[in-house]
Homo-oligomer: A and B are copies of this chain.
């Protein structure tokens, strides 16, 4: 455990699982995110490009929901993606309150190339696990994530 904490064996199991889970996700994220800064993208910017790539044009509210970010933040993320020429804001004809965010040609080309590389890096990260272990990990994590 690293600390001097000592509890029942169940407590030890729990804390150990917690620490290892957090460390694994943190270190994988950190390694993946390094490649994002190489192309001058923040995590939120990448997430936005990815979700637009897979789902097509969305309004900012929807993007915020998918990325678990606040509306105020999405405004700035889109501002910065727009400055880089990756997306454009277009008025939603069916709801004049809303703005639909579209990938530009440049944005589509970029994410179309970058995303497969991202997937390869994820595969590389998980190459230390057997197929059986991947399934088990998914099952266990699913239980943890559900617990509202």
Chain A residues packing against B (C-beta within 8 Å)? 3-5, 9-11, 13-18, 20-30, 54, 68, 119, 122-123, 125-126, 128-129, 131, 133-138, 140-148
**25 A–B contact pairs at CB < 8 A?**
A10-B131, A11-B123, A13-B134, A13-B138, A14-B122, A14-B134, A17-B135, A17-B138, A17-B141, A18-B126, A20-B138, A20-B145, A21-B24, A21-B28, A23-B141, A24-B144, A24-B145, A26-B68, A28-B145, A125-B144, A128-B146, A128-B147, A129-B144, A133-B143, A136-B140
**Given A3-B54, A54-B3, A145-B27, A21:B137 Cβ within 8 A:** yes
Quick check: B137 and A140 within 8 Å, CB to CB? yes
Residues of B with C-beta under 8 A to A25: 21-22, 24-26
Residues of B with C-beta under 8 A to A125: 18, 144, 147
In terms of DSSP, what is the predominant structure of the interface of chain A? helix
**Given A27-B145, A145-B23, A133:B140 Cβ within 8 A:** yes
Looking at the assembled complex, report how far the CB atom of A54 sits from the nearest CB atom of chain B, in whole angstroms. 5
Give the one of A10, A15, A122, A138 with max B CB within 10 A: A138
